[in-house]
Amino acid sequence: MKKGIIVFLSLCLAFCCVSCKDSAKHECSYTQTVTNEEYKASEATCQKSAEYFYSCKCGKRGNGKFSHGARADHIYQDDKCIYCQREPFATETNKSLCVYITPTGIRYHYLSTCAGKNAKPITKNDAIRLGYTGCKKCTR
């Protein structure tokens, strides 16, 4: 009787061991697209989204990468974006459109000559935020 139990127990142990080895040794398939810091391959820049490594269900990360999320803002250093060399006041969109204001004026101008001597460049967005309104002569 005792022998029977021992055999049963060791069989059970052997079986358990096989199955736990199995789960540790599964074929990893890197199909998960987990997007947390752990799987981040590179940060987002103004040029591209952040990249992440594909991962397996077990948490192992693969070699393949995918991009996810929005692009980041430009990072300006010495008046140029460190990634794309773009200048802060480049006229690309209305948002970053360069206008001119004067410390005493209430209008923003598209032409520095119209703004006058103390003209200082600023983005249109900032000008509007500061309460400036478009000059009737040069912003229409």
Which residues would be at the binding site for Zn ion (CB under 5 A)? 28, 46, 56, 58, 60, 74, 81, 83-84, 86, 109, 114, 135, 137-138
Residues ≥6 apart with Cβ < 8 Å to 4: none
Minimum Å gap between C-beta 74 and Zn ion is: 3
Minimum Å gap between C-beta 109 and Zn ion is: 3
Q: What are the φ/ψ torsions at residue 109 (nearest 5 degrees)?
A: -125, 150
Which CB, 11 or 58, lies closer to Zn ion? 58
Which CB, 14 or 73, lies closer to Zn ion? 73
Contact 134, 115 (CB under 8 A): no
Specify the DSSP class assigned to residue 30.
Answer: -
Which CB, 1 or 24, lies closer to Zn ion? 24
Minimum Å gap between C-beta 7 and Zn ion is: 34
Minimum Å gap between C-beta 119 and Zn ion is: 10
Which CB, 10 or 59, lies closer to Zn ion? 59
- According to DSSP, the β-strands at 107-108 and 98-101 are unpaired
Distance CA 114, CA 84 (A): 31
Distance CA 130, CA 118 (A): 17
